[in-house]
Amino acid sequence: MESTTLKCGDCPLRAKYDRKPKSLAGRFWRWHINFCPGWKAYFTSLAPEEKAQLRVESTIPKRREKHRFCLTIFYTFATNFF
């Protein structure tokens, strides 16, 4: 089997996100990385320092923080609704 190299580091959409995060292409890239298996493999292959730097630059939350936020919103809605 061939060895595949992940090219997420030099992805054209990621470059557009870096230049203009609020552009359509930038927002698409940011949405896309939430479920892209290639991005997850690339991100897990990085060193912890590089992960931390990328989280700051791209505002990528840790999974737990994201789920905690969603649960807080759901709990607030549920307690006020019922």
Integer Cα distance of 48 and 33 in angstroms: 18
pLDDT of 1: 43
Does residue 30 lie in a domain region? yes
In a domain, 57, yes or no: yes
| Total-model pTM | 0.60
Task: Quote the number of domains for the chain.
Answer: 1
Instruction: Note whether residue 23 is domain-resident.
Output: yes
* Max intra-chain CA distance, the chain: 56
How much is the pLDDT for 51?
87
Q: At residue 81, does pLDDT exceed 60?
A: yes
Instruction: Give the domain range for residue 58.
Output: 10-81
The reply to whether 68 falls in a domain is yes
Judged against a pLDDT cut of 60, whether residue 50 lies above it is answered with yes
Average pLDDT over residues 50-76: 68
Quote the pLDDT of residue 11. 87
Separation in Å, CA 32 to CA 1, 15, 36, 72: 27, 14, 6, 24
